[in-house]
Amino acid sequence: MHFSVCVYILLASLLSIAQLAFGQGADGCNIPPAIITNFTWHNSTHNCGCDDGGCLPTGLHGGPGCGPPDMVEATFSQQSPTYNDTLTCGASDPGSVPARPIPGGPFNCRSLGRHFIFTANGTEGTLTYVEPNFICPEGRAQVTYVGSFEMDCVYDRFRNSTCVQSEPSFQLEPDEVVGIH
């Protein structure tokens, strides 16, 4: 009897792992990837030096806000038989409440707890997007999506950059699904 309980637990664990690997959430909820159709990041890190007019009358370098703000904006599209939504989320620093450095986060999207985090390493970006109310046939699930992508960047004479996604769209895969409620 003890052996069969262990086998049952092993099979249940393997089934759960297989469901997550195929985007299958709790209670048979099919969770497709989130599609990013638009991404822009402006990094004005180098806008506050005296050589570009960013000095205060005292001659000191200007503080936050002395040049165009850093900003990030992403458009997320989620399409499934039970859930269809497209939203654009963005943040600027300074300017967003609460203030967060860009790259960084989390940055709020509309309401209901949706948010995203953006990190960058050179011209590779990574987005993490949390949808806390993904609609499933038997209720709602919190889905965390993650994906990396290449960016094309242009630089001004002060080495400030504006970057956009290299491909017309890219996918964020479901990484974590927290139960139906």
Tell me the CA end-to-end span of the chain in Å, nearest whole number: 34
- The H or E element containing residue 20 is helix 2-21
pLDDT digits (tens, 9 = 90+) for 59-68: 555 555 455 6
Q: Are 128 and 14 in contact (CB under 8 A)?
A: no
* Confidence band of 171 (pLDDT split at 50, 70, 90): very high
Residue 70's CB is within 10 A of a number of other CB atoms, namely: 23
- Residues 148 and 162: their CA atoms lie apart, in Å, by 18
Q: How many residues does the chain have?
A: 181
pLDDT at 78: 82
61 φ, ψ to 5°? -60, 145
- Residues 117 and 119: their CA atoms lie apart, in Å, by 7
pTM of whole model > 0.85? no
CA distances 90 to 15, 27, 42, Å, are 37, 33, 11
Check whether 158 has a pLDDT greater than 80: no
Check whether 37 has a pLDDT greater than 50: yes
* Helix count and strand count (H, E) for the chain: 1, 9
Q: In the chain, where are the structural domains located?
A: 30-53+66-180
Was domain 30-53+66-180 assigned CATH 3.30.1950.10? no
Q: Are 43 and 149 in contact (CB under 8 A)?
A: no
pLDDT digits (tens, 9 = 90+) for 75-121: 998 876 666 788 888 888 765 556 677 888 898 887 778 899 999 99
pLDDT at 29: 82
- Residues 45 and 51: their CA atoms lie apart, in Å, by 14
User: Quick one: DSSP state of residue 138?
Assistant: T
* Confidence band of 181 (pLDDT split at 50, 70, 90): low
**Strand 84-93 with 104-108, pairing:** unpaired
Average pLDDT score over residue span 172-178: 94
